[in-house]
Amino acid sequence: MRNLINIMDLSAKEIDGLIETACDIMKFPEKYERACEHKILATLFYEPSTRTRLSFESAMLSLGGQVLGFSEANSSSAAKGESVSDTAAIVSGYCDIIAMRHPKEGAPLVAAQTASVPIINAGDGGHYHPTQTLTDLLTVKREKGTFDNLTIGVCGDLKFGRTVHSLIGAMSRYEGVRFVLISPEELKLPRFVKQQFIKDKGIPYEQSTQLEEVMDRLDVLYMTRVQRERFFNEEDYLRLRDSYILTPDKLKSAKEDMIIMHPLPRVNEISVEVDKDPRAAYFRQAHNGKYIRMALILKLLEEAKA
């Protein structure tokens, strides 16, 4: 059974295929409106995530399919102590495909071991969030027209920011890419992520603690939120929360065609004044999420049939 647990489960060619399908869906939505008729998506969300869940549900409904599921652990059998593997095995009988979000790292992989339908990892703690990365890639492609020869700046929480790790992994497969890593010392990119995706591949990169210093060379600025839920210690969270706040003033030295991305929700790391800037791509990015998820559901259901 084909699942999507980690973005690296997909080859660059497969990602290109998904992006192509997503763009086709945007252009000709009517072609796809009955593509998943009589198919059911189960959204098993053990922690709340409005945007991701609604985006999955909207994707399936737009394909003519149906959805069922739960949006927090308290309203599921998990509250009675049922294991993830048992839930996955049982729910497989009620649906054709599962999107799972869980606060524990590796939970969707555990589910995939007992499920008899494809599992999509919709975020497992601070670990992976592959459909966010697909959304990010679709956004880069639509906004910049290419993945090659781009300088990608990632800013904020690079330690716990799972979207950053996956984005770096996925982008590291394209020609001429450079990375600029902007974070406070405490939230630097983990050594093994840097080794695996940047150093081992000989990709040029630089590190900085000052966003303004590197702004002028970025083609893409990917901002992240310092997430309260990833800290055990409230004091550390409060201290690091306001490390980088993007304002129109800081954008003065940025390229005219740079794009600003953010996986959302934001807290205060991008000032609302930036929203008016045409380079702010984060709302367009959030809309892209639905279409790439439609393409993914189609692909996995197609492969499950074969």
Choosing from 66, 76, 85, 253, the residue that interacts with other proteins (CB under 8 A) is: 85
Active site residue 43: no
**Interaction of residue 124 with other proteins, rule CB under 8 A:** yes
Q: Which of 31, 34, 50, 51 is catalytic?
A: 51
Q: What are phi and psi of 244, to 5 degrees?
A: -135, 120
Listed residue (190, 24, 68, 56) closest to 131, CA to CA: 56
Choosing from 102, 141, 142, 293, the residue that interacts with other proteins (CB under 8 A) is: 102
How would you label 264-288 residue by residue, b for 16+ Cβ within 10 Å and e otherwise? eebeebbeeebeeeebbbbeebbeb
Q: Which of 52, 139, 163, 224 is catalytic?
A: 52
Q: Which of 53, 102, 129, 293 is catalytic?
A: 129
**Interaction of residue 109 with other proteins, rule CB under 8 A:** yes
Q: Considering only 122-130, 143-151, 172-180, 281-289, which stretch makes contact with other proteins by CB under 8 A?
A: 122-130
Q: Least Å distance between CB 191 and other proteins?
A: 9
Q: What distance in Å separates the CA atoms of residue 278 and residue 113, rounded to the nearest whole number?
A: 45
Active site residue 144: no
- Per the DSSP assignment, residues forming a β-bridge with 179 are 152, 205
Q: Least Å distance between CB 294 and other proteins?
A: 28
As a dihedral over the C-alpha atoms of residue 216, residue 152, residue 16, residue 286, rounded to 10 degrees, the angle is -90
Distances (CA, A) of 275 to 8, 51, 132, 145, 227: 32, 19, 20, 22, 21
Active site residue 228: no
| Chain residues 127-146 in contact with other proteins, contact rule CB under 8 A | 127
Active site residue 101: yes
Q: Least Å distance between CB 43 and other proteins?
A: 19
Distances (CA, A) of 19 to 9, 135, 136, 151, 294: 16, 9, 11, 21, 10
**H-run or E-run covering 180:** strand 178-182
**Interaction of residue 192 with other proteins, rule CB under 8 A:** yes
Is the CB of 193 or the CB of 286 nearer to other proteins?
193
**Interaction of residue 42 with other proteins, rule CB under 8 A:** no
Distances (CA, A) of 74 to 45, 48, 71, 79, 176: 10, 11, 9, 5, 47
Is the CB of 8 or the CB of 264 nearer to other proteins?
8
Choosing from 105, 216, 242, 249, the residue that interacts with other proteins (CB under 8 A) is: 105
**Interaction of residue 125 with other proteins, rule CB under 8 A:** yes
Question: Which residues lie near other proteins (CB under 8 A)?
Answer: 83-85, 102-107, 109-110, 124-127, 192
